[in-house]
Amino acid sequence: MDSYLGLAQSKVKPRSVVDAFSNRTATIKKRPPRPAGTPSRVSFAVTLCRSTPSASEEHRLLLEKYKKLEASYLSLEGEYAKVKSEKESIQIAYEELQESYNNVTAKNFNAGKLLVYLKLKRRTDKETLEKRNIIKNEACFNTYLQDVVMLDHPRIPRVIHECITVLESNDKFMKSPGLYRVSGDHNAIQNLRYDINANNYKRLHKQKSPHEVCGILKLFLRELKDPLISLEQCAKYIPDVIQMKINTRSKVVQLINSLDTVRQNTLKVLMKHLRNVAAIEENEVDAFSLGLLFSSLIFNETLADVCPVKFQKLTAVPRECIIVMMEDYEAIFK
């Protein structure tokens, strides 16, 4: 070829025209031989076909997946139906309550409907909770006398000693009209109750009104699970009012002597305090009113399940016992 045409020329010049055509492979770079063990294109395609699942296998897998999805769908459909029915029942109950609320008056309102409609369980009664030890006795109130915190000397409940000390150390408190007859503030009494159960008497000594202090003392006696004097024990010595009029002092002494030491000491301190209260004219409280009031506290079974017809008959003996204890204090509590 001519060099002026700018064409690439072979480095190996043929010796003839025939040689040029027959020796053209000499200019092509030969491909290196395939290493041993390398799969051919045909074998690779066969292996690929074998590794790919067949149509029947793929169909079987899809069928199993479909069955699982169908079972899941059926379970969700059942749950949906259940939730839907509950929603309808709640909606009906709500509409009935709404209608009842619109037509309600103070006389025909029934709060128990809410428990019936919502199917809620009623609360377990207090006695059951106490048996299960869920509700335990308080440290001072609503418990037994033997479990209350006591003073060492005299051996009486500390709450009684603290209340009497607060009252008698303040002349203004002792001269307050209606002492023990006027009710104190309920919230203040409850706060004092929590403090005293924690054996904390600081708030009691800071009271500016005597009625809350009196309320604490009355609350303690009223909530004792075992009264200072039971009606059954009183009936052994003083069965009725007629017997009360015969040898009254000696019978009251016999009744007090039948009690344990803690009860005797507690009655002695209480009667001395009530006698001091009745001796002050400014508070407008006499022995009869105090006897009537404290008979229901010291004999706190008096007001439990009593028929109104028998009320006066049952309260007469305890009232007279309290009055005798105050008036003949020196002779009875020697």
Identify whether the C-beta of residue 184 lies closer than 8 Å to the C-beta of residue 192: no
**CA–CA distance from 203 to each of 20, 148, 161, 207, 209 (Å)?**
127, 19, 15, 7, 12
- Is the pLDDT at 299 greater than 90? The verdict is no
**In the CATH hierarchy, which top-level class contains the domain 145-333?**
mainly alpha
**Angle, CA 140 vertex, CA 133 and CA 145 arms, to 5°:** 90
Query: Got the DSSP string for 219-254?
Result: HHHHT-SS-SS-HHHHHHH--SHHHHTSSHHHHHHH
As a whole-number percent, the residues of the chain with pLDDT over 70 amount to 69
What is the torsional sign of CA 76, 78, 82, 84? positive
The tokens describing 221, both together, are 């006696």
**Angle, CA 100 vertex, CA 98 and CA 101 arms, to 5°:** 65
Q: What is the pTM of this model?
A: 0.58
Q: What is the mean pLDDT of the chain?
A: 79
pLDDT at position 261: 92
Residue 282 confidence class, pLDDT cut points 50, 70, 90: very high
Nearest 5°: phi and psi at 148? -80, 150
Identify whether the C-beta of residue 216 lies closer than 8 Å to the C-beta of residue 223: no
Identify whether the C-beta of residue 302 lies closer than 8 Å to the C-beta of residue 247: no
Identify whether the C-beta of residue 266 lies closer than 8 Å to the C-beta of residue 224: no
Question: Mind listing the pLDDT tens digit for each residue in 153-204?
Answer: 889 999 999 999 999 999 999 999 999 999 999 999 999 999 999 889 999 9
SS3 99: helix
Residue in the block written with tokens 């949906």 = 80
Question: Mind listing the pLDDT tens digit for each residue in 10-50?
Answer: 555 555 555 555 555 555 555 566 565 555 555 555 555 55
Short-list 221, 239, 229, CA closest to 299 = 229
